[in-house]
Chains A and B, each alone.
Chain A
């Protein structure tokens, strides 16, 4: 599986494969991805619904399907699927203690030029308030395929935030375990914790730091909840300096989780490379918006210069 393969295409391929093996898998989409999901629709007749543009009800429908023992997969654009439909996720799934799968595209500012109506930077923060949620951010095709197969039929609601840009780092399926982070590179001076596409940013920052004789450890986190506390804690305890790099609002993201789980370690220097707690209103494309909020190698380097060194 190519590390550059699109997450959305992998979503369609995984639905086809899992759906053929498990007749209880049902997929509901809100008028997106219906073209690439036609192989699933044809192979699994009656289990694909392009239900229309009514996201809160789409979520309730999925919960109703779970009530009769199906494994629902709900898929559309993050702001509508998570923020608009939050109460339906909270009550119809979580309060009912029902299981399900929520697969978004268009999180953070992946739909950059569509503006803030189509951005969603606060999904981790919102979903972390819900009992019974698992939150994943697979940054490559093999991660989505593996995490989905591990979680789709468990008793919880699992969120899969699919980025528009894979991180490009190659993993094997055997590397991926829900709730377990991955130490990409050992280091001793500073910990760089990355999630989603910014694993690439972390690795390039590490190269830059090594030119300055700084030895960075890189940890990759594909599961935001439950986070791999042991891995993160051990690394921060060793380096006593940490930068968390994530496409999420500063409030309530992975950085907050890292801070809370390492609060018992003294003298830790911390910095957050993330989206400020504000709307991102610029245009120019995904890379330009990353640049505008400092989610670049240069941005992380200057953050380290300001907050860590």
Chain B
């Protein structure tokens, strides 16, 4: 995998936003490289059988990044061209936050921050009761990490030694605009998690980190703290500002597509 390989998916995200007249492009670009790697190289799944009992789970807890999930579900056959075309349209199944009851492959209906990790811990405890060994991956935001429930769940997962659980923190510095004194790696270590820190857009580091999770010999749950950039890949929308929830006009669209060409 090389940096920039996900330009096709980034272009698709922009097209969906323009067609649907809604969407969070920078949040999706922040996590697209990690989610794409997960679906390509890590997760065990069968899109023809989304509820297969032996599947791995991926929960996008920061639901507003869902465009990065949708384009991967499309790439792997969970949803079709028609679904993509109907993003945020009447009768469509894809909205600005994923709805588990509508979207094949979406494991949770997220949007309200601070729910996905706790829900996933329940799934992991349920798997233990049922003597199943499925792996769970949960992607949360750094802003989302302001929520107390994130830490309640982290506390439980470590104490119950949920070794099959891996959290990815999308550390795009969003939360640090408000609470700048935040040392996320120290926090996760203090909670007893196997902690790694990577560049969330660097293909080699992403691969190495997930391999380390797979090879880990302790019973600790894992966390990969990914340094990311909102809007990564298109300099004009990178960072924190008006692009958080903005639809490009025709001129901006052309500039974005040029950057992603």
CB contacts (< 8 Å) of B121 on chain A: these are: 57, 60-61, 64
Do B123 and A68 touch across chains, with their CB atoms under 8 A apart?
yes
Do A64 and B130 touch across chains, with their CB atoms under 8 A apart?
no
Do B122 and A62 touch across chains, with their CB atoms under 8 A apart?
yes
Provide the A58-69 mask, 1 if CB < 8 A to any CB of B, else 0. 001111111111
Bound CA–CA A96/B59 (angstroms): 14
Q: Is B129 an interface residue (CB 8 A)?
A: yes
Partner of B125, one of A65, A87, A88, A97: A65
A35 shortest CB reach to chain B, Å: 21
Do B109 and A96 touch across chains, with their CB atoms under 8 A apart?
yes
CB contacts (< 8 Å) of B107 on chain A: these are: 67
CB contacts (< 8 Å) of B128 on chain A: these are: 46
Q: How many residues of A contact B (CB 8 A)?
A: 28
Provide the A37-58 mask, 1 if CB < 8 A to any CB of B, else 0. 0000000001101011010110
Bound CA–CA A70/B127 (angstroms): 10
Provide the A99-130 mask, 1 if CB < 8 A to any CB of B, else 0. 00000000000000000000000000000000
In the complex where A87-B112, A91-B115 touch, is A57 in contact with B152 (Cβ < 8 A)?
Answer: yes
A109 shortest CB reach to chain B, Å: 28
Do B109 and A61 touch across chains, with their CB atoms under 8 A apart?
no
Using CB atoms, name the residue of chain A closest to B131.
Answer: A46
CB contacts (< 8 Å) of A56 on chain B: these are: 118, 149, 152
Do B126 and A52 touch across chains, with their CB atoms under 8 A apart?
no
Q: Which of B92-133 contact A (CB under 8 A)?
A: 100-101, 107-109, 112, 115, 118-130, 132
Bound CA–CA A62/B129 (angstroms): 13
Do B108 and A57 touch across chains, with their CB atoms under 8 A apart?
no
Do A52 and B115 touch across chains, with their CB atoms under 8 A apart?
no
CB contacts (< 8 Å) of A64 on chain B: these are: 118-126
Using CB atoms, name the residue of chain A closest to B124.
Answer: A64
CB contacts (< 8 Å) of B149 on chain A: these are: 54, 56-57, 60
Bound CA–CA A34/B128 (angstroms): 21
Do B156 and A61 touch across chains, with their CB atoms under 8 A apart?
yes
Do B119 and A52 touch across chains, with their CB atoms under 8 A apart?
no
CB contacts (< 8 Å) of B101 on chain A: these are: 95-97
CB contacts (< 8 Å) of A91 on chain B: these are: 109, 112, 115
Q: Is A92 an interface residue (CB 8 A)?
A: yes
B7 shortest CB reach to chain A, Å: 34
Do B115 and A92 touch across chains, with their CB atoms under 8 A apart?
yes
Q: Is B155 an interface residue (CB 8 A)?
A: yes
Using CB atoms, name the residue of chain A closest to B118.
Answer: A60
A60 shortest CB reach to chain B, Å: 3
Q: Is A275 an interface residue (CB 8 A)?
A: no
Using CB atoms, name the residue of chain A closest to B134.
Answer: A68
Q: Is A26 an interface residue (CB 8 A)?
A: yes
Q: Is B153 an interface residue (CB 8 A)?
A: yes
Bound CA–CA A75/B41 (angstroms): 40
Bound CA–CA A92/B112 (angstroms): 10
CB contacts (< 8 Å) of B132 on chain A: these are: 68
B160 shortest CB reach to chain A, Å: 8
CB contacts (< 8 Å) of A61 on chain B: these are: 118-119, 121-122, 125, 156
Partner of A65, one of B100, B109, B126, B153: B126
Using CB atoms, name the residue of chain B closest to A64.
Answer: B122
Partner of A47, one of B115, B129, B153: B129
A59 shortest CB reach to chain B, Å: 8
CB contacts (< 8 Å) of A47 on chain B: these are: 129
B91 shortest CB reach to chain A, Å: 20
Bound CA–CA A26/B125 (angstroms): 10
Bound CA–CA A61/B107 (angstroms): 14
CB contacts (< 8 Å) of B122 on chain A: these are: 60-67, 72
Partner of B129, one of A54, A57, A65, A87: A65
Do B130 and A92 touch across chains, with their CB atoms under 8 A apart?
no
Using CB atoms, name the residue of chain A closest to B127.
Answer: A68
A127 shortest CB reach to chain B, Å: 18
Bound CA–CA A66/B155 (angstroms): 21
Do B108 and A96 touch across chains, with their CB atoms under 8 A apart?
yes
In the complex where A60-B122, A64-B120, A69-B130 touch, is A96 in contact with B100 (Cβ < 8 A)?
Answer: yes
B9 shortest CB reach to chain A, Å: 27
Provide the B57-98 mask, 1 if CB < 8 A to any CB of A, else 0. 000000000000000000000000000000000000000000
Do A26 and B119 touch across chains, with their CB atoms under 8 A apart?
no
Bound CA–CA A62/B126 (angstroms): 9
CB contacts (< 8 Å) of A57 on chain B: these are: 118, 121, 149, 152-153, 156
Partner of B156, one of A26, A52, A67, A72: A52
Given pairs A68-B123, A68-B126, A88-B115, 18 additional interface contacts (CB within 8 A): A47-B129, A51-B156, A60-B115, A60-B118, A60-B149, A61-B125, A61-B156, A64-B120, A64-B121, A65-B129, A67-B107, A67-B123, A68-B127, A68-B130, A70-B126, A88-B118, A96-B100, A96-B109
The 10 A-B residue pairs with the shortest CB-CB distance, nearest first, are A64-B122, A60-B118, A61-B122, A68-B126, A57-B152, A65-B126, A54-B152, A64-B123, A57-B118, A64-B119
B residues at A contact (CB < 8 Å): 100-101, 107-109, 112, 115, 118-130, 132, 149, 152-153, 155-156
Offer 5 A-B interface pairs, CB within 8 angstroms, sorted by A: A61-B125, A63-B119, A88-B115, A96-B101, A96-B109
